[in-house]
Amino acid sequence: MGKPTGFTEYLRELPLDRPALKRVEDWHEFHLHMEEKKLKEQAARCMDCGVPFCHTGTLISGMASGCPINNLIPEWNDLVYRGLWKEALERLHKTNNFPEFTGRVCPAPCEGSCVLGIHSPPVTIKNIECTIIDHGWEQGWVVPEAPSKRTGKKVAVVGSGPAGLSAAAQLNKAGHSVTVFERADRPGGLLMYGIPNMKLGKKEVVLRRLEVLKKEGIQFVCNTEVGKDLAAEKLLSDHDAIVLCTGATKPRDLPIEGRQLKGIHFAMDFLTANTKAVVSGSPDASFINAEGKDVIVIGGGDTGTDCVGTSLRHKCRSLVQVEILPKPPMERAKDNPWPEWPKVYRMDYGQEEAAARFGADPRIYLTTAKRFISDDKGQVSGVHLVDIKWDKNDKGQFIPVELPETERVVPAQLVLLAMGFVGPEQPLLDALKVERDPRTNVKAEHGKHQTSIAKVFAAGDCRRGQSLVVWAFNEGRAAARECDRWLMGETSLP
């Protein structure tokens, strides 16, 4: 490393975010950049650790440990410290097609497994990654790189989210003619409509990269749902190979009393309609407004946080986020050792903003919704909440048990269900007749990604279930590699 003693000399520092009460007044990104001198010091904290667990990309206890796309983190940290920004960008692009996305929305499992993190705060890997790519865009180093020759093979990618884009980018590099089919009006999938603008800028970040992909020769066909607007049989007959990257978009429901009431929505419907309004400049008929309402978000995770941040920008009247799990500890528990992902209490941007406006973290733990209350017009007006504890049943499984005398009513004119997703939508998979696993995901072995139909491959959430954006990149790249190998008999894709 350029400065072997850096981790003993510099403390962990992150750039400031825009003040919470100011940033909720707009939809602009809230992160600020750090000055170069400070950033070099942060890069200097990267140790000469011998075995860099930060880029191992494994699963431990069901959670990501290290970078799933095996970013060459120590290498580009060292290059940043030495001021070699273009070389750092080249190293970053070797493993990551879209570091401007992961640098903004990835939860950074690399930092959770940083060797320095055993005894000190870990290296600020995510911030350094984001700055490298943003600097590259500013300097004009990110330019279209079309393949020098074409193979004559035609590949269809169904879905333009993280897995679809990474698969398309890699297959295009291999020289295949790639067409990406997207049922929405704009490409990008989750990156375009599932993640709010203040977290991932659409015009400044997502559309900028999509324009490069188009100039490299990738064709995007939007407003086209395969199996409905385009027959699955025609997709199969018109292409030499297909990569399914449709995501796991079937949301988990909450079938309790009053679920049919107006004002109860799935989180993704709320977020998608809002981002469409931000990008287009005006809301359409699908827009769901939280302005002046008491909002209850049921479920945690990134989607729940995004609902919190979006509701605040709508100027909601009050906000409660309900979590059925217990509050995490402030530090790693004994059964959560390094290099596992640290399951510790943290406040994301949405909770920080809610605390700034209302005075406290909006989350209430070990709580569940029991039923919804209606007003005289069939509109939700409140939610019966009850505290729970986790006990084992006679099969040894943990189940939630209601605590007596804890039920109470919380007012709500808008309820957002953010409890995750249960798998991919089935109509297209039925039409293609691909085999599925017991969880209704497309059955395809990780690392090979070939389905029960030889020319059809699968990647991302539709294969593995709901997961991180960075795992979608891992799968998209791997599916592209195996698809290329199947088409050509060999592959040079990583």
Is the pLDDT score of 30 beyond 80? yes
Sign of CA dihedral 171, 196, 471, 338: positive
Is the pLDDT score of 187 beyond 90? yes
Of 35, 37, 34, 41, which is closest to residue 12 (Cα–Cα)?
41
pLDDT in the model for residue 246: 97
Query: Could you tell me whether strands 380-392 and 408-411 are parallel, antiparallel, or unpaired per DSSP bridges?
Result: antiparallel
Domains along the chain with CATH numbers: 6-139 (1.10.1060.10), 154-249+422-488 (3.50.50.60), 253-419 (3.50.50.60)
Of 352, 469, 461, which is closest to residue 100 (Cα–Cα)?
469
What percent of the chain has pLDDT above 70? 100
Q: Kindly state the tokens that stand for 375.
A: 């007003």
Per-residue CA distances from 323 to 61, 300, 326, 362 (Å) = 21, 6, 8, 10
3-class DSSP state of 441:
coil
- H or E element: which one contains 270? helix 267-280
Is the pLDDT score of 1 beyond 80? no
Q: What is the pLDDT of residues 446-455, one digit of tens each?
A: 999 999 999 9
State the Cα–Cα distance between residues 382 and 38, nearest whole angstrom.
49
Q: Please, which pLDDT band fits residue 3 given cuts at 50, 70 and 90? A: confident
Q: What is the pLDDT of residues 352-367, one digit of tens each?
A: 999 999 999 999 999 9
Contacts (Cβ under 8 Å, ≥6 apart) of 154: 176, 177, 179, 238, 239, 240
State the Cα–Cα distance between residues 477 and 469, nearest whole angstrom.
12
Q: Quick one: angle between helices 469-488 and 162-173, nearest 10? A: 30
pLDDT in the model for residue 48: 84
State the Cα–Cα distance between residues 1 and 77, nearest whole angstrom.
9
Q: What is the pLDDT of residues 149-160, one digit of tens each?
A: 999 999 999 999
Q: Which residues partner with 82 through β-bridges?
A: none
Averaged pLDDT, 170-183? 98
Q: What is the pLDDT of residues 117-148, one digit of tens each?
A: 999 999 999 999 999 999 999 999 999 999 99
Is the pLDDT score of 2 beyond 90? no
State the Cα–Cα distance between residues 188 and 247, nearest whole angstrom.
12
Sign of CA dihedral 8, 10, 11, 15: negative
Q: Please, which pLDDT band fits residue 50 given cuts at 50, 70 and 90? A: confident
